Structure 1
Amino acid sequence: MRSLFVAEKGHQNDKSIVLLHASGSSSQMWAHHIAELKNDFHCIAVDLPGPASSRDIEWTNFNDVTEMIADIIKNRVHGKPHLVGLSLGGGLVLKLLEKHADLFDRAIVDVACHHPIKGYRKVIAGVYIMSLLKNTKLMGNLMAKMMQKDGVPEESYR
């Protein structure tokens, strides 16, 4: 079985944090978090199968991907790491806790569904298509307008 791409920063002897991204994203979504955490933690951000560095690995099902992540943890982490997941990554955190609870110290899950969404391949395809637009001027302008409405200072997004 091929291994998923892993972005790793920090000292391997420090407490580990394993970060699992949302669908249509990559380990890059954790770059700012890792920049803050790498001096105190061993940070492992996994690229899930999809549009990023693990794109040559097919998404088969939650169980298979869960086992790929568990293998990474068993081979790269000492002790019991913290586990963090957002959206799709959060669903995988729940599955990891269900199958391998003994591997982890603590978990943070945000916006997750324990059972796969029916038609999730269509959802992943839609998110992937949207990800192609994320660096366009149109998307930048739309995001800026949303931030303005929310009262975010202009210097925070320009």
Structure 2
Amino acid sequence: MSTNLMLHEPPSALRLITQAYMSPLIIGFALLPTQLIAYLNFQQDPALKFEDHLFHEFAIAIATLEGLFVTYATWRCYQSSGEPLLRWLTLGFLAFVLIYTLQGAFTGMAQRNIWLFCSMGQRRAWRCRFCSSSGYSATTCRQTGLRSARTRAHG
């Protein structure tokens, strides 16, 4: 009994139909957030407000647990491989989780002190950018053989 299987190229007409179907589908999914925003903008009364701090705090708690899991998985991968980029990714994920936790804690104060609440989002973004760029540059320098002045002086 043979396990060889002959695969044939699909006809060009089928490929054309598939591409014609796939292109609007991708565009539709890409524009879905815009469609939802337009719906809210044109169909909803701006005077209506929905505030549910408890739900927001619950969502942040779930996101924090997921972030902790990703941080742990990245740390375990770093322990296994020793790759410097994974160390920086672990630090970036950990910073994200810690700052996002603070933002969740300040959710209840969002009405009274909005700047404290909003600044946590910016701090999280900058911390993650720093850790990601530091890890990328350290890994790139190591792979290309570039060393810092301190390393050249000692080694």
Same fold? TM cut 0.5: no
Q: Give 1 or 2: higher strand fraction.
A: 1
Which structure is richer in relative contact order (CA contacts within 8 A, separation 6 or more)? 1
Q: TM-score, normalised on structure 2? A: 0.25
